[in-house]
Amino acid sequence: MKSESDCRIHVSLKVKGNFGDIVLYNIDKRKWIRIGNIVFMVYDEQITATDVDVIENYQKLGFGKLMIEVLQRYAQEHMLSVYLYSLRDAIEFYKKCGFQRVSRFRRRGCKLILTNVEKGKDGKQVSYGDMVWVPKGLKCARVAV
């Protein structure tokens, strides 16, 4: 099986209104084969990834991480955090991509907020997801309610 380094890859990132997708193609032999995709929403100053998928015979070759990195670059440029619900089997994958379990921050009587350190904005409560990736310049804080 091919590895990421010996495929010619085309990455497409499209955002229209509140919806976006990233699609990865293998363009070897002038044929475009879809390797995987991420579907996401941009809403309420956060990105929620609703579908992350690499087709079976391209899994464990670095393509999932590559797509997540594209999404993280977009999120960093727009200062958006990224949330998703992870299947139990994929939690380790997301941790390797820099995501953290939201439950790590949640404690009884506390909520997790994200604070825009650079702009000194008020904190924003985390929602929609059990894993979060936070761009540089935002920080997670646990706040008593």
Ligand X SMILES: CC(C)(COP(=O)(O)OP(=O)(O)OC[C@H]1O[C@@H](n2cnc3c(N)ncnc32)[C@H](O)[C@@H]1OP(=O)(O)O)[C@@H](O)C(=O)NCCC(=O)NCCS
Residues that bind ligand X (CB under 6 A): 52-54, 59-65, 86-87, 89-90, 92-93, 96
Measured CA angle at 142 (ends 145, 90), to 5 deg: 120
Least Å distance, CB 129 to ligand X, is 10
Instruction: Give the nearer residue to ligand X in terms of CB position, either 6 or 89.
Output: 89
Instruction: Give the nearer residue to ligand X in terms of CB position, either 65 or 106.
Output: 65
Closest C-alpha to 61, from 14, 93, 32, 39: 93
Least Å distance, CB 67 to ligand X, is 8
Instruction: Give the nearer residue to ligand X in terms of CB position, either 88 or 108.
Output: 88
Least Å distance, CB 29 to ligand X, is 21
**d(C-alpha 24, C-alpha 65), whole Å:** 11
Instruction: Give the nearer residue to ligand X in terms of CB position, either 74 or 83.
Output: 83
Tokens of 26: 């293998």
Least Å distance, CB 83 to ligand X, is 12
**d(C-alpha 135, C-alpha 17), whole Å:** 21
Q: Are 132 and 47 in contact (CB under 8 A)?
A: no
